[in-house]
Each structure stands twice: as structure tokens, then as C-alpha cells.
Amino acid sequence: MVAQPKIRRVTVHQYQYELDDVGKDYNGFNMVYLKGGKSQAKGYVFTVETDAGITGEWAGGSAETYAQVGMIAQYLIGKNPLERELIYNDLKRALRKNDRFGIAPVDIALWDIAGKLYNAPIYQLLGGYRKTLPAYASTTHGDENGGLDSPDAYADFAVQCRERGYPAFKIHGWGRGLVQREVATVLKVREKVGPDMDLMIDPACELNTWADVLKVGRACDEARFFWYEDPGKDGGISAFGYKKLRQLIKTPLCLGEHVRTLEPHVDFIVADAVDYVHTDATYDGGITGLMKIAHAVEGFGLDVAIHAPGPAHRHCFAALRNCNYYEMGLVNPKLKSTKPPIYRDYRDELDSVDANGHVPVPQGPGLGVQIDWEWVKKHEVGKVVYE
């Protein structure tokens, strides 16, 4: 029997970095291409140390995530890191007045510990299904700066991505709800890329009215889109609004990125409001929470969609049948990189796919990736230790 370790220290490292040729769009929220632009961003690495000499590590999360980690950190000290289900349920209750983002770093670090202790990659502990994952190219938002600044620019980029091997392409359009330009982009991308590439659009909740949502949806029907994601200013959470939309358009809806954790995702399915059920380990309670959603979705005979890239998501997808694509985002024809170089042996960028548009699943123990601690220490701007 494996010895039963205990958690003895939890640490949050905060770092700061700069991205080149990146700016923000009209409201300061969306990252877009901007030649000569310098964008400062913050990131986090979270570690859980045990008395067995094994440390779980995860890079990700945001300020609100770690505000919640601060609320539950003392609970973790002395707990058995192999009891993920117990810890998930305790944290779910403890964070019930928040969005529960604080579960993710803990749960993912605990899966990393389990993988290192059992000397197996996480996807095998979850029940391995595949070793490579078909990816879709997921664009940055539209700009007015010579990057993705017209329907033709998106269409040309889709052709480039297809030539790189990507089997699918997702448009993140412009802010401010210019519906005619969104419609033109949907039609132009299909026209230029031909019939075979799977196409998606995610207006990222920028379309102002339900009428605009319907207009873009009808264009998706005409262009035979694979899915239509989070279009409206309801913020992707109005089950009734999307049930009505599904009665009027044929394109499958991908929703759930802004619906938090297992039970509300299931309620969205029962409300007849969704086709592809969107989930993210960072938002939905870690790997444990994501897998609960994916299996609940399987039980309804549907597919799950996993939001955003990252090592934890590669492991989850690799252990699932009912998932179609890995999101390689955000990518832009003029940007080499949209992420900090946080790993020694792992990347999620436009050129990270093979000739078939697939990415591999890390095969080392746990998450199977090496954080570049030298880089982290050099860029560290804060550290909080709980013990």
C-alpha cells in the first residue's frame, strides 16, 4: 500500500511579464494585435508540498482564484492529498458564496501529486482514451490595427491554419456588437476555406440584442458552422433565451463557459438550452469538477467542449470519448506567442500542432510538464505561503 501523505505547505507565486505586439480593444478587456504594443500581464504558479517529499504544481488562475485560496488554505494543512473527492466537496461548500474558482488550483495540484506518487500521467489515472488530440485554431479578438481587421483577414488566416494541419477554426470577432461585420466574417471564412474545415464562432457575449444573436446564428446556418458559442449580452447564462434560439436556428450551440460547476451545467442541458456543453477545469472545480461534467454530459448522449488550452485540459480530453477538439488559443497570424514561457518542455501556440493538427498528451508522471522555475523566480512579484 502507498504511504498516506499529508499536506504541509501551500504557496502562491505571482509573476509579471510582458507580451510584444499586443494591445487591448475598445473596452480594455480583449487582447488584440497591436504592432509595437507592450502588454503587461500577471500570472500565478501554485504549489502544494507534502510530507512525502512530493510537490504538486500548477500554473494558472487569477487574482479572484487566489483570494479564495486564501479563504481555504488553512483547511488544507494536514489533509491527505489523495482524498480529492472529499476535498472537492468540502471546498464546494466552503466557497458557496463565491464562484468556486478557488477549488481549481488545489484539485489540479492534488492530481499532480497523485500522478507523481503512482508514477503515472494523469490521463491514465482518469482512464486513458487517446494519446493525441485534434486541435482547433482559436483566434484573438478582431482589431482595427492591420491584424485580424476584416472578414478577409479572418478568411485568409483560416486558410493558413488549414494548411498547417488544423481541422477546425474558431472566430473571436470584434467588440461593440457590429453585427453586419460578424455576419460577413462567418460567410467569408466559409467561402474561402471551402466545405471541409469545421468552423466555430464565439462573439464572447458582445452581441447587444437577441435579434443580433439570431442574425449571426442564421449566418452560421447558411455557412454550416460546427458551433455557435456565447453570443449575447446575457453573458452566456440565459437558459430560456438559448432554448428559444435553438428553436429558430440549426447550428449547435456551445454554452457553459460562464455557467459554474456541475449542477448548473446539468440544469442547462435539462432546460434544452445547449448542444456542446462547455467546461473549464480552472472555472469548474479542477480536473475533478471537469470530469464530473464531462461524464454527466456523456449520460445525456452529448459531447463536452473543453475551454482554453493547458496541460490539465490535455489530460482530461485524453481520458474522454465525448469531446471533439482541443482549443489552441489565442492565436493570431501576426503574433508568435500569446503566453508566458512558463514551461521548459511544453507550449500552446499556433505552431504547437503536428501536420495533422494534433497535440500530444504529456507522458510524464502527474501533469507531465516542467515549470521553468528559473524564469518564474526572475519574474516573481509576490509570494504567499500558508503552512
Chain residues that interact with Mg ion, rule: CB under 5 A: 202, 257
Helices 210-222 and 239-248 pack at an angle, to 10 degrees, of: 40
At its nearest, how many Å lie between Mg ion and the CB of residue 384? Answer: 30
At its nearest, how many Å lie between Mg ion and the CB of residue 104? Answer: 17
Q: CB-wise, 234 or 380, nearer to Mg ion?
A: 234
At its nearest, how many Å lie between Mg ion and the CB of residue 186? Answer: 16
Q: What are phi and psi of 374, to 5 degrees?
A: -65, -45
Q: CB-wise, 7 or 330, nearer to Mg ion?
A: 330
What residue number has its CB nearest to Mg ion? 202
Contact 351, 135 (CB under 8 A): no
Q: CB-wise, 57 or 257, nearer to Mg ion?
A: 257
Q: CB-wise, 49 or 257, nearer to Mg ion?
A: 257
Amino acid letter, residue 255:
L
At its nearest, how many Å lie between Mg ion and the CB of residue 3? Answer: 42
At its nearest, how many Å lie between Mg ion and the CB of residue 29? Answer: 13
At its nearest, how many Å lie between Mg ion and the CB of residue 230? Answer: 5
Q: CB-wise, 115 or 236, nearer to Mg ion?
A: 236
What's the rounded Cα separation, in Å, for the pair 322 and 303?
Answer: 5
At its nearest, how many Å lie between Mg ion and the CB of residue 243? Answer: 20
How many C-beta neighbours within 10 Å does residue 191 have? Answer: 11
Q: CB-wise, 50 or 282, nearer to Mg ion?
A: 282
For residue 269, what is its C-alpha cell? 442541458
At its nearest, how many Å lie between Mg ion and the CB of residue 268? Answer: 15
Q: CB-wise, 56 or 217, nearer to Mg ion?
A: 217
Contact 314, 345 (CB under 8 A): no
Q: CB-wise, 182 or 257, nearer to Mg ion?
A: 257
